[in-house]
Amino acid sequence: MKGINFKKFFASPRWVTVAWVVGLIVVWEIGATVVAGVKRTPENVLPHLYQIIGSVFSTQKANSTQTAIQIVLANAWVTLARAGIGFVIGAFAGFVLALLMSLFSAVEKMIFPYLMIIQMIPILGMAPIVLAITKDIDKSRIVIAAILTFYPVATNTLSGFKSVEREKRELMYSYAANRYEVYRKLLIPSSLPYLFTGLKIAAPMAITASILVDTLQGGGGLGCMMSQSLKHAMTIYVFWQIVFLSAIIGILSYQLMAWLEKLVSPNQRGEGAATTAKEQMQ
């Protein structure tokens, strides 16, 4: 009897995921225990998870005015707001460029090869130079996040425009629909799943970029606090909290895009569309 329940318990995919998470926690804790036995300052290498969680609720001040979690959250806001602005600008620019490329084949021919090349260019490596040009950490956060968002959105949306079957276009033509109507009623709606594939790829990248730009200058933000904590200017748990927070934010940003997609187009949910988008992109 017990055996059957056990089987049922693990039958659903959700429990499999939970089991994996539990397994990972166990592995982390074993690692932390080993490290605690060997190292002089285990919290620098691999603290126990309960120590990290404990530090979140600790009321001890990490600098003169704030506790660790207050520092982290205040700086997370700075980083996220900039990443968000850059993300929106980049997504908008990417969509407009895809529209232009689909409207005028000359533009596509001119820009598309560079769009492919730009994917292979390590933009994050250019972060310091963008900072030097804009001379402002906020602006450079926005610019880098926008550039990183821009190309997945542009390429995916373009392949979305191209994925529309010829028959559908011909049908619109037979209705004597003008260009605006064709885009408004056929091309833009059917490119939406592709647009969201691009957004899902871009969202965690925009956040990574924003954190990385933080580390370049001491102007606040998660990355800045992270490097200060690593240099032991404040408690090391600030670093660990940021690690977990950035992981959570990265995953949440992806989920947010998936949720937005459901909100915008509840009927067409395209895992299939998403994979074709990726394949066509390449």
Partner 1 sequence: MKNGRSFWDQLTSILYPVAFGVLIVTLWQTGVLHAILGADTFILPLPGRIFDIIQDNQALIMTNVQATLIVALGGLLLGSLVGYLLGVLAAVFSKWGKGGLTLASAFNAIPIIAIAPILNNLTKDFSSDANIRSMFAKILVVTITSTVAMSVNAYRGLTELKPFSLDLMKSYAATERQIFFKLRLPNSVPYIFTALRVSVPGSVISALVSEYFAEYIIGVGRQIRENIVLAQYATAWAYITVACLMGILMYVVLLIFESILLKGRR
Residues that bind partner 1 (CB under 8 A): 10, 13, 16-17, 19-21, 24, 44-46, 106, 109-114, 117, 119-126, 128-129, 131-133, 204, 207-208, 211-212, 215-216, 223, 226, 230, 239, 242-243, 246-247, 250-251, 253-254, 278-279, 282
Residue 38 or 176 with smaller CB distance to partner 1? 38
Between 123 and 187, whose beta carbon lies closer to partner 1?
Answer: 123
Residue 227's nearest CA partner among 118, 66, 75, 108 is 75
Q: Which phi and psi (to 5°) does residue 61 adopt? A: -75, 130
For residues 239 and 230, the answer to whether their CB atoms sit within 8 Å is: yes
Cβ–Cβ under 8 Å, residues 50 and 237: no
Q: Which is nearer to partner 1, 62 or 200 (CB)?
A: 200
Gap between the Cα atoms of 61 and 234, Å rounded: 10
Minimum CB separation from partner 1 for residue 272, in Å?
Answer: 11
Nearer to partner 1, 114 or 175 (CB): 114
Q: Both tokens of residue 260? A: 């937005």
Least CB distance to partner 1 at residue 145 (A): 12
- Token couple for 223: 């990355």
Q: Helix, strand or coil for residue 230?
A: helix
As measured in angstroms, the least distance from the Cβ of 134 to partner 1 is 9
Nearer residue to partner 1 within complex by CB, 131 or 195: 131
User: Smallest gap, in angstroms, from Cβ of residue 230 to partner 1?
Assistant: 6
CB of 190 to partner 1, least distance (A): 23
Residues 6+ apart with CB under 8 A from 151: 94, 115, 118, 119
Please answer whether residues 39 and 45 qualify as being in contact, where contact means their C-beta atoms are separated by less than 8 angstroms: yes
